[in-house]
Chain A
Amino acid sequence: MENLITALGLIGTFEVMIAISIGAFAGIIFGAIPGLTYSMALALMLPFTFTMEPVTAISLLLATYIGGMTGGSISAILIGIPGTPSAAATVSDGYSLTKKGDASIALGTAVIVSTIGGFISLVIMIVLVDFISQFAIKFGPAEIFMLVLFGFSTICGLSERSLFRGLVAGVLGLMLMTIGTDEIEGISRFTFGSTQMLQGVNLLVAMIGLFAVPHILEVFNLRLNREDKTNFEVDIVKTKLPSFALLKKYFNLMLRCVGLGTSIGAIPGSGGPIAAFLAYSHAKNSEKNPEEKEKYGKGHIGGVVAPETANNAVTGGAMVPLLSLGIPGDPATAIILGGLLIHGLSPGPMLFIENAPQVYSIYLAILIAYLVVFIFQVNFIKHIVKILKVKPHHLGVGILVMVIVGSYAIRNSFLDVNVMILMGLIGYFFNRIQLPVTPIVLGMVLGKTIESEYRTAMSLSAGDPTIFFSSVVSLLFFGLIILTIALQIKKRMQDVKKQKQLKEQVQI
């Protein structure tokens, strides 16, 4: 209690409030503009925090992180280009809703569920931090490998058209991540002798290319043919927010996604994108009404609620390994870890004893940051949906410059610009031949983890594969994998049967 009061004193200053507001704003902007990511915002801001008070500095970084996490959904919903990998799962339904003219409802839902998800996960984290960190330690390489494999098996559920087409894209994503330096042995792979290629393919760069370039190409193509129209009928662009009844309907789903997001966030090495994809497939599979289920991927609000709740619930969960073990879950939390270290807050059990007031002020900062982000975004929506009234090719030019500058700025590398363009071409080609693009992102998110955990586990057991079946946790995930695959196959068999029946009817 004492700590809480001290923390209130630390956080209740004018500077901290300003820092949180700036952070939240910058996070939203960087998250929302395709080509810029909030990891970049964090990296660029870190040097400015050196001279600040510790609590102010950490608040600024956390607010940027949270702003970015929610901001990523804005561009995902409005133009179909995810601002962050965590928002990639939101694209299919969010963008479809925009095409129907329900952009503001989708955005509003995303903001509200994000805030709720973040809040609840924070509370879970505060109450259960000791328990969760014990649970997180249980996840060794073998267990994480199984978890990630389980995540990959849900690819099948994500691709609409065909299981195998989704798999092709997923495997391609995994392949891309093996290019560059192998982290375990330090050997170069597929570099063709080039030093630049040692950098490998960056996930953010590839994602920018996959989603943004096809968008630009399509828009420019229409314009060059003089066939372009305004994006949507201007009058359709509504600024209505979602109703309370709508949110109430999905409250149960939200709670489940919060649980999912928090636990995924707590496991070192996974993170936002995995949680979002798992939540999406969970939402789709748990929908009982077949008519509603059909709508997933074509503009179902549940397809926005689930991933957005889950990826923000990750923020609470991710604080556990970060603060108690010093393990960052993704590039963004790695930068926050840097900020913590510079201000002398080294993670570990003593942090909660020696720096208890600072830890409490971190909690409070997250809480306030979510509030501020919420207020910003709700007021933002009315204005930001107007971007749909801008002529698509004008927007396209802007996006073009942003994606090129953005993909350069991530690692200050021209290789990344070229990779981005190449990935864009692949994305465009995949769209043309109707292969899904999202599994590539999922494959890339999981790729590094799958490989490094597999190899570490195999090193630990000296090459004995039974390590993957030696604990309850990994057996549990193995069961889930089998279940997922079995369900997929069963569903496919039914589909095939139906098709056959239809064909026979036609022939008769």
Chain B
Amino acid sequence: MKLTKKIVGALAAITLLFAGASTNSFAGSHSKFPSKTIEMTVLFGGTAKSVGQLVAKGLEKNLGGTVVPVSRPGGGGAVGYKYIQSRPASGYDIVWNSNSVSTSHHRGRTSFNYKAFTPIAAMSIEVPVLAVKSGTFNSVKELADYAKKNPGKLKVGISGKGAFTHLTSAIIFDTLGAKVTYIPYGKGKAPAELLAGRIDAAVQWPGQFRSFHKAGQLKMLAVTSQERIASDSSIPTMKELGYKKVDVTMWRGLAAKKGTPKAQIKALEKAAEAYANSAEFKAASKKIGFTINYLNSKQFGKQIAKDDKKIKKLMKDLGLAKKAK
């Protein structure tokens, strides 16, 4: 009985403490932005996270406040997007956005689509690359010929069904007019699996293959963007090789919840632009292997909308599309 009495007393004490605490914390004003820490939600690990952390640092420098990258992984980005939607649209919660805003919606993981976010600025694009083991296929044409002659025999490594590398592979091999088998495997194993000959081709990010390509163990056949990428300028594009339909890139940029005040978006946009043009970001792009592609809020919005259409159709064709409950 004694214990119960004590607990009641404690509850009373808590109520008093709250009364004291709450009067204090309403005192802050919102005239200057940022007046407190900005949380930047990062949705994935790997390169996405590394670049996100860099951008957070860059924003911090150009914005004059604290920007903390916080990872909220899971569900192909859905967990992080949902978190942003649960927060007030104050500009203090931003997200390191990517194509996953479209893929997670069309896979039925989020009930809202890209329109629920206000674009701030696009920062970079990453371009997938098609690679094979050296000595197996020398060009995309050889690969296409083989795949057409042996439908379903060519094993193409992807990161997982519905992953961006899967969508890219689907576009590539559709354009080539070949039927292939997709092998989903865990993170980052593409080079090893290719070297061992367990898969015949793989679509991944160039950073994973570069060292092997230079050593002559693997061969990067083509990149999927419209223009060659700066970090691996010797690799032709699919467009150059005559497959004009192939144009896939993964964009990354900043976004906030819809309804965030214009002034906040402007401030963030300005800081992002300054960082995108800095020497530091350029150096990082070379080392990590992404392409800087700054777009302002308006242009970025257009790009997202255009991409969303493409992804929607693609996912429908692949039978991956689903409606959110």
A residues apposed to B, CB below 8 Å:
43, 46-47, 50, 136-138, 140-141, 180-181, 183-186, 188, 193, 195-196, 198-200, 224, 268-269, 321, 325-328, 334, 337-338, 341-344, 346-351, 353-354, 411-413, 452, 455-456, 459-460, 462
B100 to chain A, nearest CB (A): 11
Bound Cα distance A413, B78 (Å): 13
Known contacts A136-B192, A186-B107, A269-B186: A181-B155 contact under CB 8 Å: no
Closest to B192 in A: A325
Bound Cα distance A6, B47 (Å): 30
A-B interface contact total, Cβ < 8 Å: 155
A406 to chain B, nearest CB (A): 15
Q: Are B50 and A185 closer than 8 Å at their CB atoms? A: no
12 A-B pairs in the complex with CB atoms less than 8 angstroms apart: A47-B69, A183-B160, A186-B320, A188-B109, A196-B79, A325-B192, A326-B188, A334-B46, A348-B212, A349-B212, A452-B186, A459-B184
Bound Cα distance A351, B69 (Å): 29
User: CB of B267 within 8 A of chain A?
Assistant: no
Known contacts A269-B186, A459-B183: A348-B215 contact under CB 8 Å: yes
Chain B residues with CB under 8 A of A180: 74-75
- The stretch of B20-28, B239-247, B251-259, B284-292 that contacts the partner chain: B284-292
Beyond contacts A344-B287, A348-B212: 17 other A-B pairs, Cβ-Cβ < 8 A, are A50-B54, A137-B192, A138-B196, A140-B196, A184-B184, A196-B79, A268-B189, A269-B186, A334-B45, A341-B287, A342-B50, A342-B287, A346-B207, A350-B211, A411-B72, A411-B74, A459-B181
Q: Are B185 and A413 closer than 8 Å at their CB atoms? A: no
User: CB of B168 within 8 A of chain A?
Assistant: no
Chain B residues with CB under 8 A of A343: 287
Number of interface residues of B (CB under 8 A): 60
User: CB of B198 within 8 A of chain A?
Assistant: yes
Chain A residues with CB under 8 A of B182: 459
Closest to A191 in B: B75
Chain A residues with CB under 8 A of B53: 46-47, 50
Chain A residues with CB under 8 A of B191: 325-326, 348
Q: Are A186 and B160 closer than 8 Å at their CB atoms? A: yes
Q: Are B74 and A456 closer than 8 Å at their CB atoms? A: no
Chain B residues with CB under 8 A of A140: 193, 196, 198
Closest to A344 in B: B287
Q: Are A198 and B325 closer than 8 Å at their CB atoms? A: no
Bound Cα distance A43, B199 (Å): 32
Bound Cα distance A351, B191 (Å): 14
User: CB of B214 within 8 A of chain A?
Assistant: yes
Chain A residues with CB under 8 A of B71: 43, 411-412
Closest to B284 in A: A342
Chain B residues with CB under 8 A of A200: 74
